[in-house]
Amino acid sequence: METENIRNFINSSSLGVYEKYIIIRGNHKYLVKSGRGSAEKESSILEPVTECICYELAKLMGMDCAEYTLEKRNGRLVSVSKWFYNEEEERFYSANRLMRILGISRENLYEKLVENFPNIKMNLNNMIIFDYIVNNTDRHLKNFAFLEKDDKIRFSPIYDNGLSLGSHLDDDDLINEDMDDLLLDSDYAKCFESSNKKQLGLVDKYSLNIDIDFEQIIDKYKRYFSEKRIDFILQLLTERIKDVKICFPNQ
């Protein structure tokens, strides 16, 4: 039995409005999220599909990621994500909240987090590498987190990857702009540095497997995207994986 709309809330951003709500299936909680849109405009399918692609890419790479699946609900395509921690046993702290508790600023944030929690260094490194490869443009301080149990902190599975793989770009941008320019202009970040490429400089090593068959994942979801968008995603992943290998030749 499913209970819907336990909590219904709207998130606004510079790109539009995202609808989110929680449902209960059996004994499990799930988060449902639409793509950007408005009351006047049908919500985009780009973000929900991208969430699912990034989940499958993360799984192949060995990155701990919240699970996402696609569903059609109330006539719209949405992503559905199973709650990834037990609220009765663990407490959730976004990076933003943890910073306030610890009284630390954004300056040299990566170093400060590693200094306070040395056990999460590899998790941060892997997140930085993953975000560079998929070009996540929305990894702000509420979009990665930590889980606490019995006074021990662990890194949360990553979540909210919908603004990756160029999903912030309209099809018109992909048609009218040069591919190399799009790849260059799409590289910005909200976490430790101003771009995902700059953040690579914080990493000394990582443990992800980046030699993956990403084409079979993109092929699985290609019916949702234009040919130009598929070309962009494939070129993005190819170039970014190559860049990582160049930056870390001994991995």
pLDDT digits (tens, 9 = 90+) for 97-136: 999 999 999 999 999 999 999 999 999 999 999 999 999 9
Cα–Cα distance for residue pair 125/210, rounded to 1 Å = 13
Q: What is the dihedral of CA 186, 191, 195, 197, to 10 degrees?
A: -110
- Among 82, 113, 146, the domain-final residue is 82
Say whether both 106 and 76 belong to one domain.
Answer: no
Q: How confident is the model at residue 40, as a pLDDT?
A: 47
Say whether both 102 and 183 belong to one domain.
Answer: yes
The CA–CA distances, whole Å, from 53 to 59, 67, 162, 202 equal: 10, 10, 9, 26
Say whether both 77 and 101 belong to one domain.
Answer: no
Say whether both 215 and 124 belong to one domain.
Answer: yes
Lowest-pLDDT choice from 36-45, 145-154, 165-174, 178-187: 36-45
Crossing angle between the packed helical segments 121-134 and 109-116, to the nearest 10 degrees: 140
- Among 82, 105, 126, the domain-final residue is 82
Count of domains for the chain: 2
Say whether both 118 and 230 belong to one domain.
Answer: yes
Q: What is the pTM of this model?
A: 0.92
Task: Give SS3 for 92.
Answer: strand
CATH code of the domain covering residue 38: 3.30.200
Tens digit of pLDDT for each residue in 63-96?
Answer: 999 999 999 988 889 999 999 999 999 999 999 9
pLDDT of 9 higher than 70: no
Say whether both 77 and 147 belong to one domain.
Answer: no
Range(s) of the domain holding residue 32: 2-82
Calculate mean pLDDT across residues 41-45.
77
Residue 17: pLDDT band by 50, 70, 90 thresholds?
low
